[in-house]
Amino acid sequence: MLLSSKDIVSLTRARAKLTELCEEVRRDHREKIITKNGESCAALIDPERLDHYHRLEREHIHLALLEEAVRGLENLKVGKTMSARKLKARYGR
């Protein structure tokens, strides 16, 4: 989603208009970027979008773990293995 200049709000204005901004975020499903001294410091997003972002993050983690498992199985097939002793020596555990 593209942000417009009206989606960027100073911290001072956000403090004064928080209820209004929250209603706007929920109603329009738009994000608000809050700035402090001209730099981004926080964002207001509607809860459904936050849940969506969290689901995407979990899916990304699961896909990365699956890719690692597939890579491990492929290494096992071609005999690319490491003893527990070498593994402990490499990672210090």
pLDDT at 74 (0 to 100): 96
DSSP 28-76: HT--EEEEETTEEEEEE--HHHHHHHHHHHHHHHHHHHHHHHHHHHHHH
Q: Is the pLDDT of residue 93 over 70?
A: no
pLDDT at 2 (0 to 100): 77
**Total number of domains constituting the chain:** 2
At which residue do the structure tokens 């593994």 appear?
87
Same domain, 34 and 61: no
Residue 5's pLDDT band (cuts 50, 70, 90)? confident
pLDDT at 14 (0 to 100): 97
Provide φ and ψ at 38, rounded to 5°.
80, 0
Same domain, 33 and 61: no
Same domain, 66 and 87: yes
Same domain, 28 and 52: no
- The domain in which residue 15 lies consists of 5-45
**pLDDT tens digits, one per residue of 39-60:** 999 999 999 999 999 999 999 9
Same domain, 36 and 52: no
* Residue 49 contacts residue 43 (beta carbons within 8 Å): no
Same domain, 38 and 54: no
